Amino acid sequence: MKVSSPIGDLPFKPTKIRVHEGVFHLDGNMGAWPAHVQIELADLCDIAYLIRHVLLGVLGGILAIIAIALLLKK
Amino acid sequence: MNNTLVIGAGVSGLSAAQEIARYQPAVVIDRLPVIGGTHSSYEDEFAISLKRNCDQAGVKFILGSTALRWSTEQRLLVVGPTGIEWLPGQHLVYAGGYRPSTQAELGILGDRLGGVLACTLAHHFLETGIQLGRQVVILGNGNSARQIGKLLVKQGSQVTVLPMDIQDPRPDYADGWWPGWKPLHAHGKGRVREVVVGKEDMVERILCDAVILAARMKPLRNVDGAVFEQESHKVTFAQSPDDMLTLEQRSTIARQVASQLINEIRRQKT
Arithmetic mean of pLDDT, B94-98: 93
Q: Compute the mean pLDDT over every residue in chain B, rounded to the nearest whole number.
A: 93
Contacts of A33 in chain B (CB under 8 A): 33, 64, 81
Cβ neighbours of residue B165 closer than 8 Å, sequence gap 6 or more: B140, B215, B216
Nearest Cα to B207, choosing from B198, B199, B197, B195?
B195
Contact B7, B30 (CB under 8 A): yes
Query: In the predicted model, is pLDDT for residue B1 greater than 70?
Result: no
CB-based contacts of A21: which residues, under 8 Å, 6+ apart?
none
Q: Average the pLDDT over B255-270 and give the result.
A: 91
Measured CA to CA, the distance from residue B142 to residue B147 in angstroms comes to 9
Q: In what order do the strands lie in the sheet with B202-207?
A: B182-189, B191-199, B202-207
Give the least confident one: A11-15, B49-53, B171-175, B242-246.
Answer: B242-246
pLDDT score of A5: 76
Q: Would you call B241 an interface residue with chain A, using a CB distance cutoff of 8 Å?
A: no
Distance from CA of B120 to the nearest CA of A (A): 9
Contact B167, B180 (CB under 8 A): yes
Looking at residue B12, its pLDDT comes to 95
Whether B21 shows a pLDDT value over 70: the answer reads yes
How many CB atoms within 10 Å of residue B155? 15
Task: Say what the pTM is.
Answer: 0.84
Asked if the Cβ–Cβ distance from B43 to A30 is below 8 Å, we say no
Q: What is the pLDDT of residue B205?
A: 97
